[in-house]
Amino acid sequence: MDFTKLSVELLKNVLDALPDGILIVTDSRNMVYTNIRFRELWSIPPDILLDNEGNAIMKYALPQLIDPQGFLRIIESLHKTAQSFEDEIHLRDGRVFRRRSVTFQDAGLGQARIWIFTDVTSIQYSHIDSLTGLLNRNKFERHFSSISVAASSQSIVGVALFDLDQFKLFNDTYGHIAGDDVLRSIGKVIRHHLQRTSDAGYRVGGEEFFLQYHGRSRDDVIKVIDKIRDDVEHLGIPHVANPPFNCVTISCGFGICTRPKPPEFIYRQIDNALYTSKANGRNRITLVELDDLKA
């Protein structure tokens, strides 16, 4: 009995039985394997030969995506690296795929990358915070490990931590129902500024929000973050316990990446920057240049 052949056939049968779409690509971008589910998810005819990653993406994937440039940006940022990755991608037909990727070493292929696609459309809404319409804490924790992976000189990533100023005093003064209305309003402001599917806003605590935003320049990122702060102030929601503004405001700590940094390092730095904004009078943003700091 040829055990080598048996093992290959067994592995193929196992992968074809999976509910996830599987794609294996070499460092030279040759597509060496796709399972049945991968072709089903991307509507690729079973008799079509797939050999070049770039051609397959351009022909089958990009036309189906809401944010094709963001999809390509991630692929380029991971090419020839050993970095793992996880995110979600949104298709024009309303479906949502969870996308995961890891590398491995093979004696024949060298370094190769496996992509795993899972249709999570049916559970998408379980990750939405019902009050603000933003992604919830559970979703943030699942995405946290990849928050800066797409940072590059061509696509700068801004990461921000927002906190409502004197929110406990607001609830004490106006009541929790009014407090919930404020949170809804903040969620609406943040959602308005999410321009790409690669951008994401999360409610990570009672009155704390996390935002990941992609821009072409530092000025672009700074402008968006400060515009969110300004838009909240201009809602004009009365808050007499928040002098000297006497309306609802938010403080922010945020950082800018042009190359990937460890997520825990990023969060610690912008949390410190948020504390600085609070200490310096609230209703302001404090920028930290993450590239200048050693992780």
Among residues 75, 105, 124, the one where a domain terminates is: 124
Helix axes 167-174, 176-192, angle to 10 degrees: 130
Among residues 124, 144, 169, the one where a domain terminates is: 124
Look up the pTM and report it.
Answer: 0.63
Domain containing residue 39: 3-124
Beta pairing class for 21-26 and 31-34: antiparallel
Number of structural domains in the chain: 2
> Residue 1 pLDDT > 50, yes or no?
no
Residues 112 and 144 in one domain: no
CA distances from 245 to 26, 166, 277 (A): 57, 11, 15
Report the range out of 52-61, 119-128, 146-155, 213-222 with the highest average pLDDT: 213-222
Residues 134 and 146 in one domain: yes
What band does 293 get if pLDDT is binned at 50, 70 and 90? Answer: confident
**Dist CA 96 CA 66 (whole Å):** 10
Helix (H) or strand (E) holding 139: helix 137-143
Tokens of 68: 């094709």
- Beta-sheet strand order (sheet of 285-289): 200-203, 208-215, 156-164, 250-257, 285-289
- Partners of 25 in the β-ladder: 31, 113
Catalytic residues: 207
CATH number of the domain bearing residue 114: 3.30.450.20
What band does 263 get if pLDDT is binned at 50, 70 and 90? Answer: confident
- The model's pLDDT over 54-71, given as tens digits with 9 standing for 90+, comes to 777 788 889 999 888 888
Between 87 and 260, residue with greater pLDDT? 87
Residues 282 and 170 in one domain: yes
Is-contact 249 283, C-beta < 8 A? yes
> Residue 103 pLDDT > 80, yes or no?
yes
